[in-house]
Chains A and B, each alone.
Chain A
Amino acid sequence: MKQTLTEKILARAAGRQTVTPGENIWARINVLLTHDVCGPGTIGIFKREFGEGAKVFDREGVVIIPDHYIHTRDEKAHRNVATLFDFAKEQDLPYFYPPWTNRYRGVCHVALPELGHVRPGETIVGTDSHTCTHGALGAFSTGIGNTDAGFVMGTGKMLVKVPETIRIVLKGKKPDYIAGKDVILRVIGDLGTGGATYCALEFAGPGCAELSIEDRMTICNMAVEAGAKNGIFAADDKALAYVRARTKKPFEPLVGDPDAPVKAEYEYDLSELVPCVARPHCPDRYAPAADCGDVKLDRAYVGSCTGGKIEDFEMAARVLNGRKVAIDTFLVPATVEVAEAIRTHEIDGKTWERIFAEAGCIPVSAPGCAACLGGPVDTFGRTHGNEVVISTTNRNFIGRMGSKTAPIYLASPLTVAASAIEGRIADPRKYL
């Protein structure tokens, strides 16, 4: 029986040869990821169901990366992080990356692969919808709630409905003005926010080789915005090299059958894509950036798990080098590693940090989720009024960045930077 990559990973996790889309299986989970917003509730359920003295299923299988509400004075947010400190100590967890220590990393979905916790062929679940990011490296990875996470924490297993696969075949050469964000916004625009509900969104075809690992992360990150359970790329040599540079743990990649039956297949030629945005208030409201020049902006934002990685800031720096922004421009590196790149990487002999400072951006913030999801009222970059925002983040629902009356346009870092220069939505091609 021919099987897709997702089906093969789930079959192995269930200890079987094959699985069929639609059936429920008990899958063995390699990594459970949680953070400060859902970790305390997950721990609460784990203790309620398995007892105060219960131990987690695998000390090395539980990874805790606080990132959401870190740079805030909110007392409950601090209490929640303290709960994680206590639990990590009690369970003697080696992979806890807490704030206010030199182990702090930042946004969990960028840190998890950086730290070598994402390995091809494995199963990852996390208490965050953007856990689908990690399919970029050939893993099955999906977001879950606290109750399922509490169950996984105690058992290492999860009841999984095997998803049907929708295959996105990429071909053609990717122009330098096209980012991973342009690829996924176009796919979501075509599928709609519910178009891949319950499905695996598999990216295949010769165009995958054109995409960097970070591009693939950006793309898989937003698979959930089309309703998908997981996004996934098969691990090629580029992916294997990325993983092997970050972990000594053994892993066994899997490859799907190219002729496995799928629910639907769509083809995209990367050379034909154009820089684009998603208009308010839904990620599927696709429009070419060039058609939105009449949209005046108040704020630009580069950050988050989908738009705050090293290459995202490199793209922004390329556009902003030697130019000035016309609007408030917020820069939030996802992780400590990204922040270090901003301080040290150079274009034309200038660090990206200097390029951003000379362009008039607001000084680069500490790493974390920041205003991507609004958050406590004192969160850096949070909207409070009617600001019109263009952002590299992943959601533009009403109120997502704080204020219900602040509309959000989603775009690539190239388009966000070009738009910051003009104070209105701009196609970045003229700045490259």
Chain B
Amino acid sequence: MSKIRSKVYVAGDNIDTDNIIPAQYLNLVPTIPEEYEKLGSYAMAGLPDDAAPFVDKATSKTPYGILVAGKNFGCGSSREHAPVALGAAGCKAVVAEYYARIFFRNSVATGEVYPFETAEPLVSEFKTGDEAELDTDAHTLTRLSDGKVFPLKDLGAVAPVVEAGGMFAYARKVGMISDK
């Protein structure tokens, strides 16, 4: 995939893993297909009650394929349920100023969501519901209302893992483990 066109959901700084998937739902196991779907239905359910709903109750999916956030997105727990919940809900990418380490790593390892970092803060440039286009090859996010293009940072040391499609695919590609 190189271009993701979608509505944007905007969140703030220090969105922690309890905001992304509250601990009471950690009894769900991501590798069990129906529980994977259930995790998606609870994505971002830990945000304060006055926040805009992320998931559409009728479909249990999100209309927001791109989540724009501020500093330290995904801080807190190591729960892989967090990028899984976003991915299972139908979110394709997070675009944040920077990430907590484990969330970033889990996004890369699972391939559930692209974890892009922005060159400049973007939370004031977008509002929830805006249409945008993310180009994962050119590393840009375009605001479709006026065509303004915002550059994203290079994925850095993890780029080969993202390109391979996750940790296992990468390890097979470099010969660390054998093919299935």
The answer to whether A and B come from one shared complex is yes
Interface residues of B in 22-77 (CB under 8 A from A): 22-24, 26-32, 46, 48-49, 71-72, 75-77
Q: Per a CB cutoff under 8 Å, which of B28, B49, B78, B166 touches A129?
A: B78
CA distance A144 to B110 in the complex (A): 12
Stretch with Cβ within 8 A of A (4 or more), from B2-10, B99-107, B137-145 = B99-107
Q: Which residue of A lies closest to B109 (CB)?
A: A147
- A15 CB-CB contact with B under 8 Å: no
- B14 CB-CB contact with A under 8 Å: yes
- B155 CB-CB contact with A under 8 Å: no
Q: Which residues of B contact A397 (CB under 8 A)?
A: 14, 16, 18-19, 75-76
CA distance A52 to B111 in the complex (A): 23
- B161 CB-CB contact with A under 8 Å: yes
Q: Which residues of B contact A143 (CB under 8 A)?
A: 78, 102
User: Nearest chain B CB to A283's CB is how many angstroms away?
Assistant: 9
The size class of the interface chain B forms with chain A is 35 or more
Task: Render B128-150 as a binary contact track against A, CB cut-off 8 A, 1 for contact.
Answer: 00000000000000000000000
User: Nearest chain A CB to B180's CB is how many angstroms away?
Assistant: 7
CA distance A144 to B101 in the complex (A): 9
- A385 CB-CB contact with B under 8 Å: no
Q: Would A49 and B23 be within 8 Å (CB), given that A147-B80, A157-B176, A395-B76 are in contact?
A: no
- A423 CB-CB contact with B under 8 Å: no
Task: Render B84-126 as a binary contact track against A, CB cut-off 8 A, 1 for contact.
Answer: 0000000000000011111001100110000000000000000
Interface residues of A in 14-50 (CB under 8 A from B): 22-24, 26, 37-38, 40-41, 44-45, 48-49
CA distance A291 to B166 in the complex (A): 48
Q: Are B27 and A77 in contact (CB under 8 A)?
A: yes
Q: Are A193 and B14 in contact (CB under 8 A)?
A: yes
Q: Per a CB cutoff under 8 Å, which of A51, A69, A83, A151 touches B168?
A: A151
The size class of the interface chain A forms with chain B is 35 or more
Q: Are A161 and B27 in contact (CB under 8 A)?
A: no
- A261 CB-CB contact with B under 8 Å: no
Q: Are A197 and B98 in contact (CB under 8 A)?
A: yes
Task: Render A75-89 as a binary contact track against B, CB cut-off 8 A, 1 for contact.
Answer: 011001001000000
Q: Which residues of B contact A157 (CB under 8 A)?
A: 176
- A351 CB-CB contact with B under 8 Å: no
- A282 CB-CB contact with B under 8 Å: yes
Most B-side CB within 10 Å, residue of A41, A154, A198? A41
- A374 CB-CB contact with B under 8 Å: yes
Interface residues of A in 90-130 (CB under 8 A from B): 126-129
Q: Per a CB cutoff under 8 Å, which of B16, B22, B49 touches A374?
A: B22
Q: Which residue of A lies closest to B73 (CB)?
A: A194
Q: Which residues of A contact B1 (CB under 8 A)?
A: none
- A366 CB-CB contact with B under 8 Å: no
Q: Which residues of A contact B71 (CB under 8 A)?
A: 194
Q: Are A398 and B19 in contact (CB under 8 A)?
A: yes
Q: Which residues of A contact B80 (CB under 8 A)?
A: 38, 41, 127, 145-147
CA distance A48 to B78 in the complex (A): 21
Q: A41-B29, A373-B23, A374-B23 are in contact. List 9 more A-B contacts (CB 8 A).
A: A129-B102, A145-B79, A147-B167, A151-B177, A159-B161, A227-B72, A373-B18, A398-B19, A404-B48
* Interface set of B (CB-CB < 8 Å, partner A): 14, 16, 18-19, 22-24, 26-32, 46, 48-49, 71-72, 75-81, 83, 98-102, 105-106, 109-110, 157-158, 161, 166-168, 170-171, 176-177, 180
Closest 5 CB pairs of A and B: A44-B31, A145-B80, A145-B106, A76-B27, A143-B78
